[in-house]
């Protein structure tokens, strides 16, 4: 057994996918939910635990539990398998380990970062000034330990201690330099993290991949924050501080709090807001939002109440609507941030309760002083609002937003609606040709359907689910009348069974090509397998009745060929099949 099969046999696919989208029981054998790979209002994503597969009828993403992690987390197949093994604390048998050694993924970067984080955490407890700073920020020892907060001592002595620590773990100064943790200067080795409080940063899989460092000593004139340099493993535009701790709670509550700083995130987490994350000193990017949208339906923004903070919020509006995220803004008193409020013993709850939706925030930001603006500025504001509203697909929501616009700008609703309709119509007309072209290209690239006949779909799905249903009698019947695409699938299954003796749904990749597998996985969700034998017999009875004349003609043609070849055994077989089919139909009153 290889690692992939071991993982698939020991990991429940519904538990894994349930961490990314809410699943509800649909019938006795399947689970349904909104697809985590594309945004939709009506659930079209299905999971089959007993087959260990998933399929989306909307975007056609499909596969097993390893494929899911591979696609959702952008990992290789082996990395996905390793992640699942670590996530579920699976003990990999020695024979499985030895068979997959050549796939081993180099995780030295994450190991080294984790070791450095542990060392900095040890150094924190040895620095009275660093400990006092943590206390002054009202961060408890338990919270400090949970986030592995640390301190990087300054000077040659600190570098020497770090080198000694990492060397015991198999790393060297060269490794630290390659990972940009220390640098070679004119006067020896040094680190930009020296004399800073260290915030280890983890990726979405919980692997330590970089650091944020904050000055805290009096008279330190360096920039307040220093983050790890960008590498293949550390990209600020894709990482969210605290996401590894908050992911499950975000998924559970269907909401997330997004703040600007590490200490804001830590303070809120300590005060019960377990679904909080922070950007790494950069603007919130589309990649950040896409990560959150996989788990949340509502996002609360707690950005600073200054002009830069407001502009950052406004830039997020259209991105959130495109991702179907309900964006709400929490406004704090001027000069305050979440950490400072909580340090003063104040509660954030009243501010969370009074949060306003992003469009109302946008109206307030754009609408204040609207009557005193120039005509050109007023037209620009109206156009910006119309562009935002056009990104909402729901017509009722559009009308509500138009009403809010009219009320805030003090323009009659009829005028606002008329102007919006006229401008929207012009935009649609200009985009129509491009949209039609894109649609045609998309349709042209779609894989050919197996069959358009519902009865055939059910039959093919049943056979794929349980190839043993395909008896010699049914083979003859199906080969006579199936449409071309369905016939190709069934013939491949028949040929494989003749060569190998048996076939299961898990081995279907040995029989069908990638395109056929993608199509057939969707068919698997069209059947209930509790009474698969009876279901299949009823389907075949319907098929026999529908195509009886063609079946009879096909068998007679085959018999004529057998007589020509003097194949007495084949003649007898065909006669037996014909009589059985005819008898079965007569018994059921179908002939």
CATH superfamily, domain at 108-227: DNA primase, catalytic core, N-terminal domain (3.90.980.10)
For the stretch 382-425, pLDDT in tens is 887 887 788 777 788 888 888 988 888 888 888 888 888 887 77
Question: What is the residue extent of each domain of the chain?
Answer: 3-103, 108-227, 243-366, 373-445, 454-587
| Helix/strand/coil for 97 | helix
For the stretch 267-303, pLDDT in tens is 999 999 999 999 987 778 878 888 888 888 899 988 6
| Helix/strand/coil for 241 | strand
| Local structure of residue 332 (DSSP, 8 states) | P
| Position 175 pLDDT exceeds 90 | yes
Query: For the domain with range 243-366, which CATH number is right: 3.20.20.70, 3.40.190.80, 3.90.550.10, 3.40.1360.10?
Result: 3.40.1360.10
pLDDT at 444: 44
348/345 Cα distance (integer angstroms)? 10
Is residue 47 a contact partner of residue 31, using CB atoms and an 8 Å limit? Answer: yes
Name every residue whose Cβ is closer than 8 Å to that of residue 77 and which is 6 or more positions away in sequence.
4, 66, 67, 70
Is residue 348 a contact partner of residue 300, using CB atoms and an 8 Å limit? Answer: no
Higher pLDDT, 139 or 525: 139
| Position 312 pLDDT exceeds 60 | yes
Cα dihedral 558, 563, 564, 569 sign:
positive
Name every residue whose Cβ is closer than 8 Å to that of residue 507 and which is 6 or more positions away in sequence.
none
591/587 Cα distance (integer angstroms)? 9
Residues, the chain: 591
CATH topology assigned to domain 3-103: DNA Primase; Chain A (3.90.580)
For the stretch 61-74, pLDDT in tens is 888 899 899 888 87
| Local structure of residue 446 (DSSP, 8 states) | S
Element (H, E) at 265: helix 262-270
> pLDDT tier at 438 (50, 70, 90 boundaries)?
very low
Burial label for 405, CB within 10 Å (0-12, 13-18, 19+), is: buried
| Helix/strand/coil for 74 | coil
For the stretch 183-211, pLDDT in tens is 998 889 999 999 999 999 999 888 999 99
What mean pLDDT do residues 563-580 have?
A: 80
Cα dihedral 259, 263, 265, 271 sign:
negative
> pLDDT tier at 113 (50, 70, 90 boundaries)?
very high
Average pLDDT, the chain: 82
Is residue 94 a contact partner of residue 6, using CB atoms and an 8 Å limit? Answer: no
Q: Pinpoint the alpha helices (H) of 411-483.
A: 413-445, 454-465, 472-481
The Cβ of residue 169 has, within 10 Å, a number of other Cβ atoms equal to 14
| Position 443 pLDDT exceeds 50 | no
Cα–Cα nearest to 511, from 492, 531, 483: 492
| pTM (predicted TM-score) | 0.65
pLDDT at 562: 80
Which string of b and e fits 201-227 if b means at least 16 CB within 10 Å? bbbbbebbbbbbbbbbeeeeeeeeebb
| Helix/strand/coil for 298 | strand
Name every residue whose Cβ is closer than 8 Å to that of residue 127 and which is 6 or more positions away in sequence.
151, 153
What mean pLDDT do residues 84-104 have?
A: 73
């Amino acid at each position: 057994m290889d690692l992939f099969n071991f993982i698939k046999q020991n990991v429940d696919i519904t538990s894994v996918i349930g961490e990314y989208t809410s699943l509800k029981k649909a019938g006795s054998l399947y689970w349904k939910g909104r697809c985590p790979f594309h945004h939709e209002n009506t659930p079209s994503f299905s999971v089959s635990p007993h087959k260990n597969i998933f399929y989306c009828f909307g975007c056609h993403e499909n596969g097993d539990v390893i494929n899911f992690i591979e696609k959702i987390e952008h990992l290789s197949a082996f990395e996905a398998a390793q992640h699942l093994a670590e996530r579920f604390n699976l003990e990999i048998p020695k024979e499985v380990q030895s068979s997959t050694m050549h796939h081993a993924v180099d995780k030295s970067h994450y190991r080294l970062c984790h070791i450095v984080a542990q060392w900095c955490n040890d150094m924190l407890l040895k620095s009275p000034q660093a400990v006092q700073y943590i206390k002054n920020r009202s961060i408890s020892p338990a919270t400090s330990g949970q986030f592995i907060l640390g301190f990087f001592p300054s000077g040659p002595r600190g570098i020497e201690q770090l080198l000694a620590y990492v060397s015991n773990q198999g790393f060297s100064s060269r490794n630290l330099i390659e990972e940009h943790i220390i640098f070679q200067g004119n006067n020896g080795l040094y680190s930009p993290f020296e004399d800073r409080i260290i915030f280890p940063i983890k990726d979405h899989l919980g692997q330590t991949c970089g650091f944020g460092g904050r000055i805290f000593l009096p008279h330190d004139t360096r920039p307040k924050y220093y983050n790890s340099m960008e590498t293949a493993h550390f990209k600020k535009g894709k990482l969210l501080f605290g996401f590894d701790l908050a992911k499950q709670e975000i998924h559970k509550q269907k909401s997330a709090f997004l703040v600007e700083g590490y200490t804001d995130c830590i303070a809120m987490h300590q005060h019960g807001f377990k679904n909080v994350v922070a950007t790494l000193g950069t603007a919130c990017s589309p990649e950040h939002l896409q990560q959150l949208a996989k788990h949340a339906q509502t996002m609360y923004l707690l950005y600073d109440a200054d002009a830069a903070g407001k502009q950052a919020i406004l830039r997020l509006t259209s991105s959130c609507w495109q991702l179907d995220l309900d964006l709400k803004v929490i406004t704090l008193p001027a000069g305050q941030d979440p950490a400072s409020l909580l340090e003063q013993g104040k509660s954030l709850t009243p501010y969370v309760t009074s949060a306003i939706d992003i469009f109302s925030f946008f109206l307030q930001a754009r609408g204040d002083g609207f009557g005193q603006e120039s005509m050109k500025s007023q037209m620009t504001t109206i156009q910006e609002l119309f562009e935002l509203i056009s990104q909402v697909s729901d017509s009722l929501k559009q009308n509500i937003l138009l009403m809010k616009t009219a009320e805030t700008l003090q323009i009659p609703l009829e005028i606002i609606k008329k102007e919006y309709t006229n401008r929207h119509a012009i935009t649609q007309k200009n985009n129509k040709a491009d949209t039609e072209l894109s649609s045609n290209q998309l349709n042209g690239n779609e894989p050919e359907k197996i069959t358009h006949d519902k009865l055939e779909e059910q039959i093919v799905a049943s056979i794929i689910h349980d190839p043993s249903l395909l008896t010699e009698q049914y083979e003859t019947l199906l080969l006579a009348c199936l449409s071309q695409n369905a016939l190709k699938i069934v013939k491949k299954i028949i040929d494989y069974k003749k060569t190998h003796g048996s076939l299961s749904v898990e081995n279907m990749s040995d029989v069908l090509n990638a395109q056929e597998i993608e199509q057939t996985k969707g068919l698997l969700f069209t059947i209930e397998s509790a009474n698969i034998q009876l279901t299949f017999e009823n389907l075949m009875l319907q098929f026999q009745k529908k195509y009886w004349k063609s079946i009879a003609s096909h068998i007679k043609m085959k018999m004529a060929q057998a007589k020509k070849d003097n194949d007495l055994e084949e003649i007898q077989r065909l006669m037996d099949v014909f009589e059985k089919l005819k008898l079965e139909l007569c018994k059921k009153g179908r002939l």
